[in-house]
Structure 1
Amino acid sequence: MRKRWRYIGYLRPIIYVIDISVISILAIWLLSLSLNEAISFVLFHSIAWLILSLKTNYYEVYRFTKIVKILSLAFEQFFLFTLIVCSYFAIYKGFELEVALVFQYLILSFSIILSFKLLVNYLLKHYRKFYKGNLRKTIIIGDNLRTHQLKTFFNENPEFGYQFLKMFCTKKNDKFLDHCFHYIIENNVDEIYCSMAELTQKQINTIVHFADNNLIVLKFLPDTKDIYAKQLKVDYYGFLPILSLRSIPIEEPFNKFVKRSFDFIFSLAVVIFILSWLTPLIALLIRIESKGPVFFKQKRNGLNYKEFVCFKFRSMRPNTEIETSWVKPNDNRVTKIGKFIRKTSIDELPQFYNVLLGDMSVVGPRPHPVSHTEMFVGKIDKFMVRHFIKPGILGLAQVSGYRGEIETDKDIINRVKYDIFYLENWSVFLDIKIVFMTIFNAFKGDKKAY
């Protein structure tokens, strides 16, 4: 079988050329570079853009890729590209430019390239849905809940361009595969989806051999065992494939650098532009209302379960129950200024010092007091997974409705679920999204902010 040629294969190289042309033409136009400066800038940043795109997988967008993922890749690409451009102008002393002009160039480049990327994505989906172009013929081997869910997905989402043809039921013998293979060849099927739950190892090997020899894409649906439904990471020890239970993107050295850069720049900006003037004001109000320290210091568990001292503005009168008892609505321990700073989350701002010290991140699982952590460890399944990464000031669980007091086991169980999702699906865009959601919730008001 010959693989059908698709002109769509030309699209990615064309997009490469267009994107690089945008960042080059805008640089020459907006930055008023001389000929030598323009050549130097264009060559350096074109190569940098291409290298970054390979690292961030910026162009690895497929028909099933969600818009959120596209935005995440775009923000990650431009965040790193911005660092490179700023570093270039800081080091290169041959000419001077206004910072505002450089950021105008970056913002305009980002807007045009992202808009074009989203437009291409939209036009391709429209083309597949209404003009039936760029379709991939698919068949499914297996008859169970998962395969029927996949069939429904194909039929109800024509914009992805999957043309579902037929579902084959498996049998105890291998003869059904002969009929299946004949149908695939006769109908020029592009992709085969197999249910691992209904196939023997021998049948799987036969299907793999057939797909390889006929240039057909082969994909597997995990079986009913929960382990196969997880995001397994494949490593190779020599030629031996090894499956890791959990992939943690932040553990990769490059992602660690990106995460730490974001944390450092963001927290430094907060300390300089907000805490520098807000701290004396809040300190004065706290001391006027009650005696005691301005900052509340508490030991909490962080990365790898290591204890660190977490800083907050003191919002309660000094008391002996603070380590063991959650704050409740209308709690008489909370001062008047304390109610305000807790409601607006201002009490959390000193934790940006923790971020600068490296104990915390801007975004991550919220750290619990040591006493609470010890209470949950043996009681809540997978609670310790949260400690694979640094804790954060802001968290996905908190913007999803699970902040503050733990009233029932359901609260902490759902908080852990959101924390694990964040840990396994981290991206720069997700961090930025959580920051904006937190700001929005602060203005809107959170019923559990007390």
Structure 2
Amino acid sequence: MLDTTVTGQRVSLKRQIRMRLYSAILLVDAAAVSLGFWLARYLQPDTWQDTRPLGLFVATIVLFMLLEIRNLRPSTLEQWLRGTAASLASLMGALLLAVFVSFCLNRAAYVPRLFAGGSLLLSGTLLILFRALLGSIGERALGGSAVSRLLVLDGLAIDLPRNVATLDARRIDPGAGTPHPYFLDRLAQALKGVDEAFIACVPERRAFWAVTMKGSTVRTELLVPELDQFGVIGNKHFAGIATALVSTGALPIRERLMKRILDLAIVIPAIIVLAPLLLAVFIAVKLDSPGSAFFVQPRVGYGNRLFPMFKFRSMRAELSDTAGAQSTSRDDKRVTRVGKLIRATSIDELPQLFNILRGDMSFVGPRPHALGSLAGDRLFWEVDPRYHHRHACKPGLTGLAQVRGFRGATHRTEDLTNRLDADLEYTNDWSVVRDIQILVATFKVLVHRNAF
């Protein structure tokens, strides 16, 4: 029987190899197109003295790279011929679009026909040759599969498949009731680098794992042997056992990249512009009361992993609530003079710009809550079994719940439910346009009646 500990290094290594191969594909394809255009100039020597074809090349290579990013997926590495065909289609589409733009700008006459056709033919040929070489390297490096899989064992005895990483659930102590944030953090560490997870558990544990994995960033399937009795159409199999999909994982890599680019495009200039304000608040907090100017608190973040969230300290250091079990009231004696001002204007949240820069958070997403946060007299994750589903995307500096006014103390369970409904609506319907809309709407609620 295989060892039931997580072979974490092997799992993470496969994802690292895949990302390196994605980078290699982009570099190789860019090199093939560049070399093809350069060789095509020998087909029409007079183009060496004409700089205008250079514009066609630049437009084509930029459009091609943008289209090529969409082709980066595990199947591209596992079936290099199909991936190459998709890249050739992207190349042809990029060149035709570049020529069309030239036509619209009344510059089509300046595009040499032989140069354009030769560039496409030579670039395509080189692309096929380069990708064939890269494909053979990728097959050996990935061992036939570009996807890293993990099998979690929780009481169900099965014949373990070979060469699949496994995890004995007892090693991370899942407990019997509602999943606790510290257990979720241990599970998230075990799932690091995993693309697909399979849960082999007894029937009475399926509801627990279904709820638990919906907040992860990993596509997850439960092994359900009973499904084979019905011949269900549409289910899949793992190790010869029928499975049921319970989590689709995080946003696709293209959408995560777009969201990260948006974050960096805003956060880097924001930190530079706000540097004087950050310094002034830092000094004011230090002078107002003894203690660190920053308040660092563990919060549940992306994929249920814990991370240190930064804020300016707004309470007296000796009375600060690291667990977050006590909500702040309107006349809370713990809040300092400076703290009252920066909380009312949300300036205390500005150090989270560094969380965004680190990649712990995004500008827009569900707000990360303290581990001891209560709705009424119950912990957040005990109020609604959907609570951890909100962690399938990065937590945000602002979010849909905030712009709708659902913030401040949670004295009733309804206060949490309203936030949760908004957070789940956001995670299920993400788009760059919506992120921008929420950012714009945030400026309207920076000062509000629930901020104290």
TM-score w.r.t. the length of structure 2 is: 0.47
TM-score w.r.t. the length of structure 1 is: 0.47
